[in-house]
Structure 1
């Protein structure tokens, strides 16, 4: 569960990437991001005082998903007519958008995390640890 939440924040669109050649992104992905935002909000126990900073985190997640989804959709539409170079460029554009989105998310989350009390930081730390570390 925690691994899924981490993946949601850092790779909001990774599932779509793998399917980019098979199908275009849909509104279901947007709903999925919204579900992840709600789940992470609850797990991190965001307080009313943290809502303003949390909204920036959620906005970064949404923006990343929308940007990457649009690029994936364009890639899907152009797939049969792209040259090899255009194909690689489209993957590069998606990767760059993901990297830019991850940086924006980091900035937003860092501001939230900095102001969290230690107990809440521990919850966040646990949520962001890889699933493998939970079994040890």
Structure 2
């Protein structure tokens, strides 16, 4: 029973934590560009690194999928949903952390349930935005997306990687040995 709960809860917590820092970065990134570039280079906060990671993910996906001008409306909606979800999650985690010292066990459990529900709702929004984008992709782009998401499912906390095509001999030897 404990293993079942752990196997269920850990991915949810990690998924929620993945988005936690983005809000802090969004708040920090509202400063004018000239002010941040004029200041001496300083180490980025966790929030800034998380926001950068969300933007990097968006940029990487845009590049890998080879999004066209004709697909920009669907792409922009998907990318904005990613940003909004990250911002919302980070804000919720920040609010929860501010209240944690005064929460009792019941409050902690309820706040965790609220975070999990928020994450589920946000994933539904992201899924809808993705469906609209996916419908606009070419067959080649869909194959790239399928490969990206299969790799992402196998390694949920890593960035998709481009895989080299298997050598023809590897796939043909596997099929000929069974006949």
Q: The TM-score by the shorter chain falls in which range?
A: 0.7 to 0.9
The answer as to whether partners of 2:71 and 2:133 remain within 8 angstroms in 1 is yes
- In 2: Cα distance, 1:16 partner to 1:79 partner: 19
Please name the residue that 1:60 is paired with.
81
Q: Residues 76-117 of structure 1, C-alpha deviation per residue, up to 9 Å, x if partnerless?
A: 111111011110111111111111111111101101111211
Confirm whether residue 107 of structure 1 aligns to residue 128 of structure 2: yes
Length-normalised TM-score, structure 2? 0.60
Which residue matches 2:26?
none
Residue of structure 2 aligned with 1:119, choices 140, 143, 153: 140
| In structure 2, distance between residues paired with 1:27 and 1:56 | 22
Distance 1:107 1:42, change over 3 A: same
Alignment partners' CA distance in 1, 2:128 and 2:18 = 23
Name stretches of at least 5 consecutive residues in structure 2 with no aligned partner: 1-14, 21-44, 156-162, 167-179
1:85 maps to 106
Query: 2:74, 2:136 within 8 Å by CA — same for their partners in 1?
Result: no
User: In the alignment, what sits opposite 2:18?
Assistant: 15
**Match of residue 66 from structure 2:** 45
What do you get for the CA RMSD once the two structures are aligned?
2.3
Q: State the TM-score, normalizing by the size of structure 1.
A: 0.77
Secondary structure of the equivalent of 1:79?
helix
The correspondence for 2:92, drawn from 71, 78, 84, is 71
| Structure of higher CA gyration radius | 2
Deviation at 1:130, TM superposition (A): 3.3
Displacement after TM superposition at 1:118 (Å): 0.8
| Shift in Å, 1:28 | 2.5
- What residue ranges of structure 1 are gaps of 5+ in the alignment? 1-10, 18-23
Report if aligned partners of 1:71, 1:93 keep a CA contact under 8 Å in 2: no
Mapped partners of 1:73, 1:25: distance in 2: 12
Q: Which has the higher contact order (CA 8 A, sep 6+)?
A: 1
